[in-house]
Amino acid sequence: MSAPDQRPNKARTVPERPSLEGLEAKWDAVWEAEGTYRFDRRRDRAEVYAIDTPPPTVSGSLHLGTVFGYVQFDSIARFRRMCGKEVFFPVGWDDNGLPTERRVQNHYGVRCDPTLPYQPGLVVDPQPDGRRPVARRTFIELCEALTAEDERTFEQVFRDVGLSVAWELTYTTINERSRRVAQRAFLRNLARNEAYPSEAPTMWDVDFQTAVAQAEMEDRPTTGAYHRLAFHRADRSVVEIDTTRPELLAACVAVVVHPSDARWRELVGTEVTTPLFGVPVPVVTHDLADPEKGTGAAMICTFGDSTDVVWWRELDLPLRSVVQRDGRLQAERPEWLTSEAAARAWDALGGRTTKAARSAIAELLAAAGELVGEPRPIEHEVKYYERGDRPLEIVTSRQWYIRNGARDPQRRGALLEAGRALSWHPEFMRVRYEHWVGGLNGDWLISRQRYFGVPFPVWYPLDAEGNVAHDEPIPADEASLPIDPQSEPPPGYTEAQRGQPGGFVGDPDVMDTWATSSLSPEIACAWEDDPDLFSRTFPMDLRPQGPEIIRTWLFSTVLRSQLEHASLPWTDVSINGWILDPDRKKMSKSKGNVITPTALVAEHGADGLRYWACRGAPGTDTAVDPAQMRVGRRLSIKILNASKFVLSMAAAGGQVTEPLDRSMLARLASVVTAATAAFEAYQYHQALDVTESFFWSFCDDYLELVKSRAYGEAAGPAGPTESARAALALALSTLLRLLAPFLPFVTEEVWSWWQDGSVHRAAWPGADELGGGADDDDPVLLDVVAEALAAVRRTKTAEKRSLRAPVARLEIVDTPARLAAVRAAEGDLRQAGNVGELVLVEGTDPSIVVELAPEVA
RNA sequence: GGGCGCUUAGCUCAGUUGGUUAGAGCGCAGCCUUCACACGGCUGAGGUCGUGGGUUCGAGUCCCGCAGCGCCCACCA
């Protein structure tokens, strides 16, 4: 595997002044040339560790949070690789979908106009403030060009931070294989009746002009106002109704009250008329009507919110739609507004945005004496598309859905069971999945009325009059995928029949980005395209991801896998925490507190950045902390210097005979055991902690104690010097391998000074390598001696003397066992502390008395 | 409205199955030009573990209530 010629420092020398400068570029180039992280597809499934990595959204700059999460599971990947697994570590770029479209619109100053003809070779210069219309195909070309550029930048960041990615496996969510996989999976869903089209009320973003799925909505506190409207009974008496959306009054189809609400009992079953428009509407009852809200009577409009949809559907009410897809009330007067007063009122409302219409109708109502009191401002939660700026409206449209268990208890139960079968890290994240599955209120809406995405691979026949037969979709042939129904005809038709009576039209929509990325295991593992690779990688081992996309990416991946393969897509899920800025606020672009990974690598080094990330526990929010990165950098420098020192003495192969050396190795063996157990439990931060602690005490105590002996003249193959030198070699080799998953650059650098090949392909250390198991190896021995040494240092510091200052007399009172430990390392202790007389006294009251020699002038 | 997580030294955090004087780093103070490291080392000060109860021989660790912070979900008239 390795190509030694590529390796710098093949002479294996220790540099005079080791440095961290330039290690990132140097080792990235070597790893690339040697294929250190390349995936060996000859290995079978049991030998592979496959990671379903989260494709970062390609929309400008790479978020530090992405790097944070990636570094964490990269440490796990590196651990598994060193344990002998062949790690399947692809990266995907999520360049498919709305974020890309928006970035292209802003970057080039264009908008997509699908009615324009395509002009091949058209060059579009960026024009920041423009909104120039371009053809659909030109728009897609711009998306492809810009994402390709961004992806190169992203890859460089990932290389700079030392991710052990198998770059040859890279995919994008819009590339040919992804389109083919997404279309194939959809066609199979369609054939099994798991996907279906439906014309129904849907949540609609009026700016993006597309339908939006439940998973992409969020509530935002929004200022509104209760308007108390005067509806009228037949006897002209008033029924007061509160609404926050008076502009939808024309869309009112009924008034609803709770069946048990005595206040309205005699009204139920009668009709009241709407203010201003005089339209008669029935008074109906429904359990969802809340007597506590407003006056207890609500107007039902088609549609103001999702409760309206429920009422409309369950109470079988008529449809009176007035809001258009652009978020404006229709200009044309609705046919059910028949009175002259109603027509006049509509003149003031039609064509206006809902927001403008709201204040306009409030004025009309007030002028007509139909507004009771003043509007009362309130702050309430309103649904938005998570990327949108204006509240969602509800419009009726034709969309594609995938059955997700919302309307099928059996499927919902199976999905909950899948959540229980997964291993979650940390465990408590599982409930988020369960809540989401339990709370699903509709099938998954996967179609978007956009351009840069995977097209639906279907067409519709046109009848003799040119009407579209939506109920008879013509599916594409699987062998033809990926296809674009806008530019290719369906089987059995010619392109000339497009749009002609008796011909066909292509489905104009594209799939939501989650409909593609929910298939990331199938895309990465080359489902159907490469059955051999698929059999070696699927189902995968680990899905690492952020907590905010449990309801989208995680859930939808489980769903698609269950539908397609009747299996889980992976066995383990690891959820990382948030990145918080130093004020403990979630970092986000809109808050302007984003720090770029590149700047941090430049300042603290990749290993410094990685150290900080790996200190964050799985699922735990972590503050961006440059101080921690400095600590990581300092640790890296210490590794360079300590290693240089150790290598000036170390010699592998000798017998480790001295009790102090064996004690150190015994302690190190317990560190190996603990770090291994932590990694296996996905607790990488604990592995780092236990290793780092040992490393510092190794430097501060063991190296100080042993250096004189190790420097000494060789005293035969089994002598004390050989023992020290062999122990140092063993310890350094072990420590470098323990630290390699966290600090890949500095450990590789040091490894290259004295070892062949990459530390990242070296075997993970085992406790047995360290001569563990011997009963007389007491890890406490080192502690006892280190305590005595610390006491010596403490005295010298207190006396303001140099640490080299001679100790005339050192008296230690302790138990026989601990005195024996000191005696076993007496020579090392005297050398390290520059101790003259050493007196060991048995006693029950332990003490250490240090008498310094007088200072010589 | 429901749920999850967090609350340990000035700051950022560890604290495994409850067990002797609660740990680390940063910061702070003092000391040391030590022949691996001044991009350093050594030493030290600093905490009634959010709050009120309970279980226990023993609780930061388990149970109940409360508060603050963060997040997720919710049909939001």
Closest nucleotide to the alpha carbon of A585, via C1': B70
Alpha-carbon span A281 to A232, nearest angstrom: 10
Query: How far out from the chain centre does Cα A595 lie?
Result: 17
Question: Judging by beta carbons within 10 Å of its beta carbon (0-12, 13-18, 19+), is residue A373 exposed, middle or buried?
Answer: exposed
Residue whose Cα is closest to the C1' of B75: A307
Q: Which DSSP letter does residue A769 get? A: G
Worst-scoring range by mean pLDDT, A486-490, A626-630, A801-805? A801-805
Closest nucleotide to the alpha carbon of A800, via C1': B31
> In this structure, is the CB of residue A292 within 7 Å of any atom belonging to strand B?
yes
CA A427 / C1′ B54 distance in Å: 28
CA A705 / C1′ B42 distance in Å: 15
Per-residue confidence at A597, pLDDT binned at 50, 70, 90? confident
Alpha-carbon span A581 to A593, nearest angstrom: 7
Q: Which helix (H) or strand (E) holds A813?
A: strand A807-814
CA A431 / C1′ B60 distance in Å: 26
> In this structure, is the CB of residue A683 within 7 Å of any atom belonging to strand B?
yes
Secondary structure class of A454 (helix, strand, coil):
coil
Task: Check pLDDT > 50 for residue A608.
Answer: yes
**Do A568 and A561 touch, CB atoms closer than 8 A?**
yes
CA A704 / C1′ B14 distance in Å: 27
Q: How big is chain A by its Cα radius of gyration, in Å? A: 35
Alpha-carbon span A88 to A673, nearest angstrom: 25
> In this structure, is the CB of residue A310 within 7 Å of any atom belonging to strand B?
yes
Closest nucleotide to the alpha carbon of A789, via C1': B42
pTM for the complete prediction? 0.90
Alpha-carbon span A506 to A487, nearest angstrom: 8
A:628-657 Cβ neighbours of strand B under 7 Å:
628, 630-631, 633-634, 637-638, 641-642, 644-645, 648
> In this structure, is the CB of residue A72 within 7 Å of any atom belonging to strand B?
no
> In this structure, is the CB of residue A219 within 7 Å of any atom belonging to strand B?
yes
> In this structure, is the CB of residue A704 within 7 Å of any atom belonging to strand B?
yes
For A216-271, the three-class secondary structure string (H helix, E strand, C coil) is HEEEEEEEEEEEEEEEECCCCCEEEEEECCHHHHHHEEEEEECCCCHHHHHHCCCE
Query: How far out from the chain centre does Cα A39 lie?
Result: 23
Q: Using alpha carbons, select from A551, A527, A555, A521 the residue that is nearest to residue A539.
A: A521
CA A583 / C1′ B28 distance in Å: 22
The whole-number pLDDT of residue A590 equals 46
Closest nucleotide to the alpha carbon of A638, via C1': B37
Per-residue confidence at A769, pLDDT binned at 50, 70, 90? confident
> In this structure, is the CB of residue A19 within 7 Å of any atom belonging to strand B?
yes
> In this structure, is the CB of residue A9 within 7 Å of any atom belonging to strand B?
no
The whole-number pLDDT of residue A121 equals 86
Task: Check pLDDT > 60 for residue A334.
Answer: yes
> In this structure, is the CB of residue A393 within 7 Å of any atom belonging to strand B?
no
Task: Check pLDDT > 80 for residue A188.
Answer: yes
> In this structure, is the CB of residue A804 within 7 Å of any atom belonging to strand B?
yes
Q: Which DSSP letter does residue A57 get? A: B
Q: What are residue A851's phi and psi, to 5 degrees?
A: -110, 115
ipTM: 0.92
Q: Which DSSP letter does residue A379 get? A: E
Alpha-carbon span A512 to A211, nearest angstrom: 10
> In this structure, is the CB of residue A394 within 7 Å of any atom belonging to strand B?
no
CA A674 / C1′ B25 distance in Å: 21
Residue whose Cα is closest to the C1' of B26: A627
Alpha-carbon span A234 to A366, nearest angstrom: 22
Per-residue confidence at A843, pLDDT binned at 50, 70, 90? confident
> In this structure, is the CB of residue A818 within 7 Å of any atom belonging to strand B?
no
Closest nucleotide to the alpha carbon of A294, via C1': B77
Q: Using alpha carbons, select from A361, A235, A224 the residue that is nearest to residue A305.
A: A224
Per-residue confidence at A3, pLDDT binned at 50, 70, 90? very low
Which amino acid, A456? F
The whole-number pLDDT of residue A790 equals 87
Task: Check pLDDT > 70 for residue A772.
Answer: no
CA A157 / C1′ B27 distance in Å: 31
Which amino acid, A832? A
Closest nucleotide to the alpha carbon of A224, via C1': B76
Dihedral sign, CA of A126, A128, A131, A137? positive
Task: Check pLDDT > 90 for residue A133.
Answer: yes
The whole-number pLDDT of residue A591 equals 47
CB neighbour list of residue A400: distance below 8 Å, 6 or more residues apart: A195, A196, A197, A445, A446, A447, A456, A509, A511
Q: Please calculate the CA angle A383-A388-A389 and round it to the nearest 5 degrees.
A: 85
CA A697 / C1′ B69 distance in Å: 37
Which amino acid, A130? G
| B chain positions with any atom within 7 Å of a protein CB | 2-5, 12-15, 24-27, 30-37, 39-44, 69-77
CA A579 / C1′ B64 distance in Å: 33
Secondary structure class of A82 (helix, strand, coil):
helix
Closest nucleotide to the alpha carbon of A643, via C1': B36
Dihedral sign, CA of A220, A221, A225, A231? positive
Q: Within 10 A of A173 (CB to CB), how many other CB atoms are there?
A: 29
> In this structure, is the CB of residue A622 within 7 Å of any atom belonging to strand B?
yes
> In this structure, is the CB of residue A748 within 7 Å of any atom belonging to strand B?
no
Alpha-carbon span A148 to A174, nearest angstrom: 11
CA A786 / C1′ B74 distance in Å: 59
Strands A252-257, A298-301: pairing kind: antiparallel
CA A19 / C1′ B33 distance in Å: 22
> In this structure, is the CB of residue A580 within 7 Å of any atom belonging to strand B?
yes
Closest nucleotide to the alpha carbon of A646, via C1': B36
Q: What are residue A713's phi and psi, to 5 degrees?
A: -65, 145
Closest nucleotide to the alpha carbon of A290, via C1': B77
Q: Within 10 A of A165 (CB to CB), how many other CB atoms are there?
A: 24
Mean pLDDT of chain A: 89
Could you tell me the maximum CA-CA distance found in chain A, to the nearest angstrom? 117
Angle at which helices A684-697 and A720-739 cross, to 10°: 150
CA A429 / C1′ B22 distance in Å: 29
- Residue A280 forms beta bridges with which residues? A273
The whole-number pLDDT of residue A216 equals 86
Alpha-carbon span A674 to A589, nearest angstrom: 39
The whole-number pLDDT of residue A353 equals 94
Closest nucleotide to the alpha carbon of A21, via C1': B39
Sheet strands (E) in A582-642: 622-623
Alpha-carbon span A743 to A691, nearest angstrom: 12
How far apart are the two ends of chain A, measured CA to CA in Å? 63
Which amino acid, A683? Q
Task: Check pLDDT > 70 for residue A77.
Answer: yes
CB neighbour list of residue A409: distance below 8 Å, 6 or more residues apart: none
Alpha-carbon span A298 to A319, nearest angstrom: 17
DSSP secondary structure, A131-186, as one string: -EEE-HHHHHHHHHHHHHHHHHHHHHHHHHTT----GGG-EETTSHHHHHHHHHHH
Q: Please calculate the CA angle A143-A149-A153 and round it to the nearest 5 degrees.
A: 135
Strands A280-285, A252-257: pairing kind: parallel
Task: Check pLDDT > 70 for residue A594.
Answer: no
The whole-number pLDDT of residue A583 equals 54
> In this structure, is the CB of residue A847 within 7 Å of any atom belonging to strand B?
no
Question: Judging by beta carbons within 10 Å of its beta carbon (0-12, 13-18, 19+), is residue A513 exposed, middle or buried?
Answer: buried
> In this structure, is the CB of residue A551 within 7 Å of any atom belonging to strand B?
yes
> In this structure, is the CB of residue A324 within 7 Å of any atom belonging to strand B?
no
Mean local confidence (pLDDT), A282-290:
91
Alpha-carbon span A340 to A363, nearest angstrom: 18
DSSP secondary structure, A407-451, as one string: T-HHHHHHHHHHHHHSEEESGGGHHHHHHHHHH--S-EE-EES-S
DSSP secondary structure, A308-372, as one string: HHHHHHHTTPPP---B-TTSBB-SSPPTT--SHHHHHHHHHHTTSBHHHHHHHHHHHHHHTT-B-
Q: Using alpha carbons, select from A693, A146, A20, A136 the residue that is nearest to residue A452.
A: A136
Alpha-carbon span A769 to A671, nearest angstrom: 13
Alpha-carbon span A510 to A596, nearest angstrom: 32
Which amino acid, A474? I
> In this structure, is the CB of residue A152 within 7 Å of any atom belonging to strand B?
no
Worst-scoring range by mean pLDDT, A384-393, A395-404, A592-601, A803-812? A592-601
CA A425 / C1′ B63 distance in Å: 25
Alpha-carbon span A164 to A76, nearest angstrom: 10
Secondary structure class of A505 (helix, strand, coil):
strand
Strands A458-461, A474-475: pairing kind: antiparallel
The whole-number pLDDT of residue A9 equals 60
CA A646 / C1′ B35 distance in Å: 14
Mean local confidence (pLDDT), A540-548:
93
**Do A202 and A395 touch, CB atoms closer than 8 A?**
yes
Per-residue confidence at A587, pLDDT binned at 50, 70, 90? low
Closest nucleotide to the alpha carbon of A794, via C1': B43
Task: Check pLDDT > 50 for residue A589.
Answer: no
Residue A380's Cβ-side half-sphere holds a number of Cα atoms within 13 Å equal to 14
Q: What b/e string do you get for A815-849 counting C-beta neighbours within 10 Å, with b at 16 or more?
A: eeebbebbebbbbbbbbbbbbeebebeeeeeeebe
Closest nucleotide to the alpha carbon of A631, via C1': B25
> In this structure, is the CB of residue A428 within 7 Å of any atom belonging to strand B?
yes
pLDDT digit string (tens) for A92-122? 999 888 888 888 998 999 999 988 888 888 8
A:369-388 Cβ neighbours of strand B under 7 Å:
378, 380-383
CA distances in angstroms from A59 to A105, A676, A823, listed in the order given: 11, 38, 66
> In this structure, is the CB of residue A615 within 7 Å of any atom belonging to strand B?
yes
> In this structure, is the CB of residue A314 within 7 Å of any atom belonging to strand B?
no
- Residue A540 forms beta bridges with which residues? A570
